[in-house]
Structure 1
Amino acid sequence: MNSTNSAEKPTTAELVERSLAKRRASEWRFKQMGRASVAVGIIALLILFTQIIGNGIGAFRQSFIHMEIEFDPDTLGMTEVNHEQLALANFDGIVRNGLRELFPEVKGRREKRELYSIASYGAGFKLRDMLAADPGLLGQRVSVKLLVDDDVDTYVKSLRAGDPYEDRISEAQRKRIDKLLESGALKLDFNTGFFTSADSAEPEQAGILGALLGSLFTLLVTGSLSFPIGVAAAIYLEEYAKRSRLTDFIEVNINNLAAVPSVIFGLLGLAIFLNFFNMPRSMPLVGGLVLTLMTLPTIIISSRAAIKAVPPSIREAALGMGASKMQMILQHVLPLAMPGMLTGAIIGMAQALGETAPLLMIGMVAFIAEVPAGITDPATVLPVQIFLWADSPERAFVERTSAAIMVLLAFLITMNTLAIWLRRRLERRW
């Protein structure tokens, strides 16, 4: 009986082997879960990028109609080129004359209206700018390239994609557009206006230059204020401030502010800068001040971490050689901590570049059709521009929204890459 029990009882080695097998199986499952999580993240990212690029790539090309235009003084109602007559001239009339030359068979009022609607509403403005730049064109006949209406552009692009979108054009318009495509008068060219124009109510004329410069001016204000203030606060808290209830209270609140939703900073900016100081709305200066408040906690925390990473022996050696405390900080600690400080500042600026909620609270959601020239001019920023276009009903704004997202992502990736490069370039090891 005893021999039978001893034969069935596993040995210690067998128990250890079984335990190791379970641990290996558990570790393998955990590793596979991690790999699956990474794969899901990569797939989701690829789907997102594919959708954005697929929707937005069309915005970088625009349909133009190549035609001959005569700057006829009688049609324009001009006798000379000056500011007053340019403002009152009938440039739409010479666009219509050019279209009628392409389709002389069009006679009826309705047919003419459909023909005229092929060209963009802003085609006349381009001709006005051409004449203003070169007054000698008055009375001359020249070849021009004019924007077409957004519905026509959408049809042309969908036609090339193999899925024609004909909901917004009539049968007569479709035939004329097809004829223009066959003759080569209607072509898809690179859309330079997307990068050189400000916002517009007409999708084919809308561009991102105004929003880009607004973002640039806002970030200039943010960077010029948040970085020196954040570094100075970090130096004081790490090198000068003594541990007390007050400094502990300040540290806790700095950490808490870093986790506060950005819309709260927008409400703070609304209360202080707009309501109390009566500063104008939709101005990069105000937007920069609000984003400075938002990025300060991030910069202070990263700067303090960088200062703490400097070995105490560096400080002791500097002080031992007779340097004052200020000399020790400025000449020894700061140069060694600067890579971490710059990394935190760039990451904070990248976060500020993508913010929308705080800027909506201070009125930077206004429609701005002019390119800003400074920090006090009315402006919007790229995330808010994306928000406005995404809310527009026109189908052509869909691709411009995705294209603007692509530009914003390119800026964010560039800023984060710069932070990594600076970190590796300036980092010192002890």
Structure 2
Amino acid sequence: MLTFDAIGETVFCGTSGDGKAFHMNRLMNFYPQGGMKGVLSLQIENQQIQPLLETINSTDEIYLVDQKGYILAASEPEMAGLPIRTRMPEEDLEQKAQIEFERDGISKIGNIQSGVFGTKILVISDKETVLKDAKAVSRRMLFLILCSAAMVFLCIICYTRWISMRVQKVVYAAKRMGQGEFDYRLENMGEDEIGQIGLAFNQLSDQIQELIRENYEKKIRIQTSELNLLQEQINPHFLYNALAVISALAMREGGKQTMQAVKNLSSFYRISLNKGKQVLSIQEEVELLQSYLKIQQMRFRDSVQVEYEIAREVLTYRTIKLLLQPLVENAIHHARKEEEVLHIAVRIQKEERDVVFQVTDDGCGIEAEKLIKLRSSLRRLEEGYGLRNVANRVRLAYGEDYGVRIESQEGYGTTVSVRIPVNE
């Protein structure tokens, strides 16, 4: 009757008498006027379903149960056709998806899933085995989680160190720039934010170097102009004094000595002019001084005597011109005593990386109070002749670490020293 009442739907008709197969029927014609009715019956052997019910764990059991609670097929073939209550307590299979019970003193867990045609699929497992497998799965999951966390943590550390190293490079470059190394550059650091910072740093470094170069060239031009101006101040001053000497000789002695004086003056200016250059060798500077002294000795004769103590190695070094002549001229005009011979010693020596020019006289010396004022005036960038002019030119040419030093004692003489760096 179930088949006829289904009106064309497939109907599950239960197991065969021996429980080795179950049937599914379908009415083929269900028209009222038909006197003959055809039925399609499908018999499914348990052994055909058996491979689908194989278990992974030997303690597991799988059952296919019909609506009436009979086993249609099972992982254990001999169970087919028996009621399910022989394997588990009678429970309402419709109400529960999982049940726990004991069988033969062993705790069991049953998982129930609904199938087609009102059937149920029941999986029964040992509770201890399930818990053991669950613990093993938990341990494996925990292991995988820990491994994943370790890998993530390692990746974070590596990435952090990579970022930190790149940031440290930028910080180090900034320190180098802060220490004055404006030509320090960062290598290509990529296209990310830190790479953009590195690119901006290199651009800033280039701009700073360009500004420094422009300012340096500007400063050099200004210093050169100031040096030329100071040089122009000393040349007319010397020329005035030299012409005064030549004029006195012409009036006193006649043409021969005047001619010699003019010749010495021309020799002085031949070296001094030096084609407009402000730098010459120390050898040429000494020759310049000797030309000047030849003119002065025509005037003062034996009352002024000059000695030289010059290291041979310094003769090829370079110096700004007219360092010695103003020092000696200052000694002749300010240190000479009436009717006494003035002795002047000119020394040029190398001291480590410097060259020291020294002019010493045994003249009248300088009063203590006047010496203080003179030393103070040498530290000011003011126009002037003689020692102040030399001091200003040395500082402009070589920096504030170089200049003129005066040592004097009234009645015993004076020593004037000029220190410049070695310039080969």
* Global fold match (TM > 0.5): no
TM-score (ref. length: structure 1): 0.22
Greater share of strand: 2
Higher relative contact order (CA 8 A, sep 6+): 1
Pick the structure with greater CA Rg.
2
